[in-house]
Amino acid sequence: MAVRHYTLDFNVSTAVDPTSTVSGLLSIFHEQELTETIHDTAGHGYLATFVGKNGRFVVLRVHSHGLVTVDLQCYEEDDIAQLDNLLNALENKLKVLLNGNITRIKKLPALLRGAKVDRYWPTADGRLIEYDIDKVVYEEDSEYQNIKILHSQQYGNILVLDGDVNLAESDSAYTRAITGSGKENYAGKEVLILGGGDGGILAELVKQKPKMITMVEISFTELLLVIDGCKKYMRKTCGDILDNLKGDCYQILIQDCVPLLKKYVQEGRTFDYVINDLTAIPISTSPEEDSTWEFLRLILDLSIQVLHPSGKYFTQGNSANLTEALNLFEERLGRLSCPVDFRKEVVCVPSYLEQWVFYTAWKK
Amino acid sequence: MAVRHYTLDFNVSTAVDPTSTVSGLLSIFHEQELTETIHDTAGHGYLATFVGKNGRFVVLRVHSHGLVTVDLQCYEEDDIAQLDNLLNALENKLKVLLNGNITRIKKLPALLRGAKVDRYWPTADGRLIEYDIDKVVYEEDSEYQNIKILHSQQYGNILVLDGDVNLAESDSAYTRAITGSGKENYAGKEVLILGGGDGGILAELVKQKPKMITMVEISFTELLLVIDGCKKYMRKTCGDILDNLKGDCYQILIQDCVPLLKKYVQEGRTFDYVINDLTAIPISTSPEEDSTWEFLRLILDLSIQVLHPSGKYFTQGNSANLTEALNLFEERLGRLSCPVDFRKEVVCVPSYLEQWVFYTAWKK
């Protein structure tokens, strides 16, 4: 029982006369057996609503200053051809009525509201985006988050954690960027991966014959659910690497990474590479009110402490558009207990539909 | 005078009792001085509209089968904090009223309707996409098309032709793909570029010291407008290549490419590379009703005829999701007067927000 919501908007260079415009459209509404109600807007233009058969509902607004908007809502299973005809009739009539003064006509793809499969996953910078998602292939709630794997025709299966697009099978660009953009040699190296439950980084790096990769996931439930979903439905990303928690040159540990990092610091253990795949930089720019910032600072500080003097720390940032949050992160990078230099890179990760920033940091 | 249109949708696992739900919400509407009208939907659930101060308008629908939708329209300059409060109050109250049966709550980023700068440019496969566009930097109508250059924070300036996103300053991936993905050596070669008015391909290829690049644009007006806009506002893409119509190893011809290709065929002239940057594959899958298909077939046939026996023909296809149109194109590739083999590649062009197919064809 989803609703299809069409919008049709005319921008006009002059004020629009509601009387002539509306009376010009009424015959179209009446033909479609739509019953009209006119509303008093207290001086904010003309507003009428129309209710028709099959639950159809239309809103017509002639705004005072050069904008006419039409909304048409109907049920998904309604006769689409008939509704297209109605919209086209309204568009054509408005073209005649507003002739010569139209500066823009905008008919957006219909919003599908309440559909079984949700196709709208806004970007990190808050824009409305419709994905080509046709199926939910996996969904579980762990104690930490909601885990979904959705199928997209062009991106393959997409891992969505708590509503954020995390990684799709098309996104080798993400894995490449967070492992140093192909410029590193992992052969014989000690590597620590924080998070990375989708297995993409691990699967890529084992190919390069490192000495040992230690990957840390927070809990067994998390592991079971994220890894379970990924190893079934994201094989293009993780291959068979998640079939075993241990291999010749890797081990997956199930524990909170903070005490583990503290233990490594105490033991003086170091890594050639630390790859933080836990979380993006928080969007909120009030660190004092957001515990994620404190968590991020803690992980960052401990990670740099376990980094070999010539080692490298890789992490994702966030959307290139979230400049405030990125600046805040960079400022924090400058205030660690152990001084670091850093560089950043902007990368196009196909399924993100926004440019994404990645950071590399190393000890000064 | 733009309108901000918020939507808030609740999916519920059981039928919703309209009476208790609506009466639970009324106090919120009344607090906001919204005047209610109840509409008769002839058995299609509960529908009420509310008109408030400053032209605010709310639609509340309790659909019969497990869906509650709220629309809130207001003017762009209205008090956003107050409207956020209203929406949050409605969301929180609905959470209580529908408690235990909610399967999804969806609050999309508000649609901005009729805004001065239009941010909505649907993908080729028809999905709703909001870009981060903040400025129109260039707009002209040529005799063939509407030419816009829009500014995006993350993609730089974007060339939009007749409402289709054509190329952004971020899109070196497009140029790379349509010139053979970095696997070709253009040094000393004869190259023909059809279209390419943004200068991206030309600017890239001259760096490789070809013998001669001939680029053909259709008309002087077109050249003036597209090239004029690009050389001013797409410098990251075209560099200074469009400042002159002629250089050491390139010439830009202003003419219709069909008679030119026919002349080349007659003269027996051949090229090592022909790059067709004129147009994507038509979306319509009724070639008999769409002259673009016939144009495409003609260009394709002539291009292969002027191709050196060991030469390569490069062109873009279209969105990877438009499988029917792509199949139709491939079928046509198999029926040219001169038999060809081809391969395709799917590429992520950053500003397209969809996966894009590119073709390479060569003589059998």
pLDDT tens track for A242-301: 788 899 999 999 888 999 999 999 999 999 999 999 888 887 777 777 788 888 889 999
Question: 3-state DSSP call for residue A340?
Answer: strand
Ramachandran category for residue A235: left, alpha or beta (phi over 0 → left; psi -120 to 50 → alpha): alpha
Residues of A in contact with B37 (CB under 8 A): 37, 39, 49
For the stretch B233-261, pLDDT in tens is: 888 887 888 788 899 999 999 888 999 99
ipTM: 0.93
**Which tens digits make up the pLDDT trace of A181-219?**
999 999 999 999 999 888 899 999 999 999 999 999 876
Average pLDDT, chain A: 92
Q: Are B209 and B187 in contact (CB under 8 A)?
A: yes
A&B contacts, CB < 8 Å? 177
Q: Which amino acid is at B212?
A: M
Compare all CA atoms of chain B with the CA of A355 and give the residue at the minimum distance.
B154
The closest of B314, B306, B317, B330 to B279, measured between CA atoms, is B317
Are A26 and B26 in contact, with CB atoms under 8 Å apart? no
Asked if A121 and A22 count as a contact pair (C-beta separation under 8 A), the reply is no
Domains in chain B (CATH in brackets) are: 3-112 (3.30.160.110), 117-166 (2.30.140.10), 180-363 (3.40.50.150)
Q: How far is residue B27's CA from residue B38's CA, in Å, rounded to a whole number?
A: 16
B256 interfacial to chain A (CB closer than 8 Å): no
Considering only residues A307 and A236, tell me which one the structure prediction assigns the higher pLDDT.
Answer: A307
Please, which residues 173-192 of chain A have a Cβ atom closer than 8 Å to chain B? 173
Q: Per-residue pLDDT averaged across A28-35, rounded?
A: 92
Token pair recorded at residue A26: 């009424």
Residue type, position B283, single letter: I
Cα–Cα separations (whole angstroms), residue B147 to A107, A246, B141, B188: 19, 57, 6, 34
Q: With helix as H, strand as E and coil as C, how does chain B read?
A: CCEEEEEEEEEECCCCCHHHHHHHHHHHHHHCCCEEEEECCCCCCEEEEEECHHHCEEEEEEECCCEEEEEEEEECCCCHHHHHHHHHHHHHHHHHHCCCCEEEEEECCCEEECCCCCCECCCCCCCCEECCEEEEEEEEECCCCEEEEEEECCCEEEEEECCEEEEECCCHHHHHHHCCCCCCCCCCCEEEEEECCCCHHHHHHHCCCCCEEEEEECCHHHHHHHHHHHHHHCHHHHCCHHHCCEECCEEEEECCHHHHHHHHHHHCCCEEEEEEECCCCCCCCCHHHCHHHHHHHHHHHHHHHCEEEEEEEEEEEEECCCHHHHHHHHHHHCCCCCCEEEEEEEEECHHHCCEEEEEEEEEC
pLDDT, residue A224, reads 65
- Those residues whose C-beta lies under 8 Å from the C-beta of residue B110, and which sit 6 or more positions away, are B4, B5, B6
Residue A161 DSSP SS3: strand
Q: Do B54 and A64 touch (CB under 8 A)?
A: no
Tell me the mean pLDDT in the region B64-82.
94
Instruction: Spell A92-112 as b/e; 16+ CB within 10 A means b.
Output: eebeebbeeebeeebbbbbbb
Q: Do A170 and B122 touch (CB under 8 A)?
A: no
CB contact under 8 A, B128 and A127: no
Coil, helix or strand for A116? coil
Q: How far apart are CA B250 and CA B203, in angstroms?
A: 10
At residue A74, the 3 state secondary structure works out as strand
Cα dist from A233 to A228, A242, A332, B330, whole Å: 9, 12, 37, 31
**Chain A within 8 Å of B340 (Cβ-Cβ)?**
no
Q: With an 8 Å Cβ cutoff, are B348 and A118 in contact?
A: no
Q: How far apart are CA B86 and CA B50, in angstroms?
A: 13
Answer yes or no: is pLDDT of B222 > 70. no
Q: What is the DSSP letter of A228?
A: H
Predicted local distance difference test score (pLDDT) of residue B225: 72
pLDDT attached to residue B118: 96
